[in-house]
Structure 1
Amino acid sequence: MAGGCRRVFGTALGVLFVVLVLAGGAAAWGWNHYQRVADGPAWTGEPTSVRIERGDGLRTVVARLREAGVAAGHDLEGRMLARQIAAAGRLKVGESALEPGIPPRELLRRRRDGRVIHYRVTIVEGWNIRQLRAALAAAEPLRHETGDLDDAALMAALGHPGQHPEGRFLPETYLYQRGDSDLDILRRAYAAMEQALAEAWANRAPDTPLRSPEEALILASIVEKETGQAHERPQIAGVFSRRLRRGMLLQTDPTVIYGMGSAYDGNIRKRDLTTDTPYNTYTRPGLPPTPIAMPGRAALQAAVNPAPGDALFFVSRNDGTHVFSATYAEHAAAVDCWQRRRNCPARNGAEPQQ
């Protein structure tokens, strides 16, 4: 009897040993298979991308990857990998690049860390609203929601009904993801301009003739259009501030051009300067009714902190810089020299080249 028990016990031990060996082998095989899936090349095709939508869970993410042709393993392996790298419940929405040889572990790690594909769109200093809208319409893969909206409807869609759109969007480079819309960009650019304008106004010179942030925005847009030279912006702003303070006409061509709209053909003539529009600062005193362009941060700062001095006039040297004059006689001489190419005093080679 004892011998039989020993035989049964020995057989059981043998079976248990075999089971343990097989289980260990299966576990080792399973672990090695999991490691091969996790660290093997998930994508071997041409570079492309896959997008994860808001609300997608891990199972959906894995399914989307498999639909895209990624060797992402089964759901169990995906869940194991997500838990191992602490990605479960933390996968970010967006578009991920699929590069040849990228393993699922790295792909999920990038989704966990929010490393998604970003695109860029730039609002250029001095653009008007037409140029801005054209640039957004051409941006890809930006989703376009404003194509059928006029300017009034656009501002209403942004939550600012009745406001003129000119000058309201801060020139900067904005990053966006696939699925974002032009309204998303405009909301961000509007908020950025509001903040930049508030900061500039809070730091304005105590003797500024400007009475509100709105007037600061308008003057900044004129400064932006009058010069592309950063060092000249405070000087240009100084001329206009002194003119406003004295009740002089601003007489700035960019406002006239803006008022001409599509009639402007690249040339400004005497009749254009005498034709009255709300934007003609040769015929109307003070600032125009709205900004005429999108001013950058430097123009905003210049408008509220103009350079001191006594200049009331300036004329272009035709190289992007200007000659500033305190009296009309000096200004007339500068115009004669730099615009009519005559009667230029020879001083240090400063006269225009013929």
Structure 2
Amino acid sequence: MKRPGRLTILGLAAALVVGGWLVHFLYGWYGAGPLTKDVSFLVPQGASLGSIAPELEKEGVVASASTFRARAKLLGGGEPIKAGEFTIPAGASGSDVLRILQGAEGVTRRLVTVPEGMPSILVHERLMAQPLLTGTVPVPVEGTVLPDSYDFQRGESRASVLARMQKAMDRTLAELWAKRSKDTVAKTPQEALILASIVEKETGKPSERKMVAGLYSNRLRQGMLLQADPTIIYPITRGKPLGRRIRQSEIQAVNDYNTYSMTGLPKGPITNPGRDSIEAVLNPAQTNALYMVADGTGGHVFADTLEQHNANVAKWFALRRARGDL
């Protein structure tokens, strides 16, 4: 039997070395990783795989930043990683880690929610109370924040989240202003915001917004007092609940907001109105209504004349007496 030659032995040895290296290379990518417990990993906006690989090694997600990058380049495809906060499970392979960072799987969505009609003083409190945000912000100017839910990343600044909220309002107001009806009484986008903030606070029924907007539009055209209770409260609490009945002295107070003692619009918004209230002011209902009173269901009964209104008020007081409210 012919013995294998020297070159053959060297070739077999080289093949074993290459094969062993290849097995090691592939196992290091598809085999279980070094992570011993689930971790939350933050990828900042604009980060690349190369820039976050050292952090992955530091957190124990991968054994080596350099080999993880090399394996990802050869075996991971060309999809970029995404910004966000990701949950990486214990034992995740290099392949698993890259797949998670390239897609939405495992992303933790963190939200700050601003409900419709939340005044800026409460928006400020909500931002400052969020422990995963950093830095401080002043109380935003009333009416500059669009009510919505906003994603944020752990460690993001409050200033950047607030800037997104205000940019959303600017964009929405510009969009709706461009589509405004010729019937709107608002002469400027700021006037639309002010009137929309009153509509927002005056009705709890979305279906009523355009009707309430139509009523107040009629009053403005005729030079009548708007007589909106929320405009009495705003200078006292900056939009927080009053927690008691309005006093007669407060109804008579003269200031830049109280529409019981002044005609026209207040000097500024009294809350942050939602998109629907802005749209209602820019496209109000066609109505002759000048008066409204609560109907006991969260909505209102509307009237064209003072006589009709007084009859509706009498019914409302009778309902309250029957309930024991008076």
TM-score over 0.5 (shorter chain): yes
Matched, 1:111 2:137: no
Match of 2:159 among 174, 183, 194: 183
Distance verdict in 2 for CA 1:74–1:353, change over 3 Å: closer
Name 1:254's counterpart in structure 2: 230
What secondary structure, in the 3-state scheme, does the structure 2 residue paired with 1:38 have? helix
Matched, 1:203 2:203: no
- Once residues 51 and 353 of structure 1 are traced to their aligned partners in structure 2, the CA distance between those partners, rounded to angstroms, is 55
Name 2:111's counterpart in structure 1: 120
Can you give the 5+ residue segments of structure 2 that lack an aligned partner in the other structure? none
What secondary structure, in the 3-state scheme, does the structure 2 residue paired with 1:341 have? helix
Alignment of 1:259-270 (within 5 A): 259-261=235-237, 264-270=242-248
Match of 1:213 among 189, 199, 208: 189
Matched, 1:224 2:224: no
Aligned positions, number:
320
Deviation at 1:340? 4.4
What secondary structure, in the 3-state scheme, does the structure 1 residue paired with 2:199 have? helix
- Once residues 6 and 180 of structure 2 are traced to their aligned partners in structure 1, the CA distance between those partners, rounded to angstroms, is 88
Distance verdict in 2 for CA 1:93–1:202, change over 3 Å: closer
TM norm structure 2: 0.88
Alignment of 1:1-354 (within 5 A): 14-42=5-33, 44-53=35-44, 58=49, 61-73=52-64, 75-87=66-78, 90-113=80-103, 116-146=107-137, 149=138, 151=139, 165-261=141-237, 264-341=242-319
User: What one-letter code is carried by the residue in structure 2 that aligns with 1:261?
Assistant: T
Deviation at 1:188? 1.1
- Once residues 43 and 266 of structure 1 are traced to their aligned partners in structure 2, the CA distance between those partners, rounded to angstroms, is 61
What secondary structure, in the 3-state scheme, does the structure 2 residue paired with 1:315 have? strand
User: What one-letter code is carried by the residue in structure 2 that aligns with 1:62?
Assistant: A
Deviation at 1:121? 0.9
User: What one-letter code is carried by the residue in structure 2 that aligns with 1:104?
Assistant: G
Distance verdict in 2 for CA 1:266–1:24, change over 3 Å: farther
- Once residues 190 and 215 of structure 1 are traced to their aligned partners in structure 2, the CA distance between those partners, rounded to angstroms, is 17
Distance verdict in 2 for CA 1:166–1:54, change over 3 Å: closer
What secondary structure, in the 3-state scheme, does the structure 1 residue paired with 2:115 have? coil
2:29–2:95 contact (8 Å) kept in structure 1: yes
What secondary structure, in the 3-state scheme, does the structure 1 residue paired with 2:185 have? coil
Give the alignment's Cα RMSD to 1 decimal.
2.6
**Which sits farther off after the overlay, 44-53 or 292-301?**
44-53
1:311–1:327 contact (8 Å) kept in structure 2: yes
2:34–2:63 contact (8 Å) kept in structure 1: no
Can you give the 5+ residue segments of structure 1 that lack an aligned partner in the other structure? 1-9, 155-164, 344-351
What secondary structure, in the 3-state scheme, does the structure 2 residue paired with 1:318 have? coil
- Once residues 21 and 77 of structure 1 are traced to their aligned partners in structure 2, the CA distance between those partners, rounded to angstroms, is 29
Distance verdict in 2 for CA 1:126–1:101, change over 3 Å: same
- Once residues 173 and 309 of structure 2 are traced to their aligned partners in structure 1, the CA distance between those partners, rounded to angstroms, is 33
Greater gyration radius: 1
- Once residues 316 and 54 of structure 1 are traced to their aligned partners in structure 2, the CA distance between those partners, rounded to angstroms, is 49
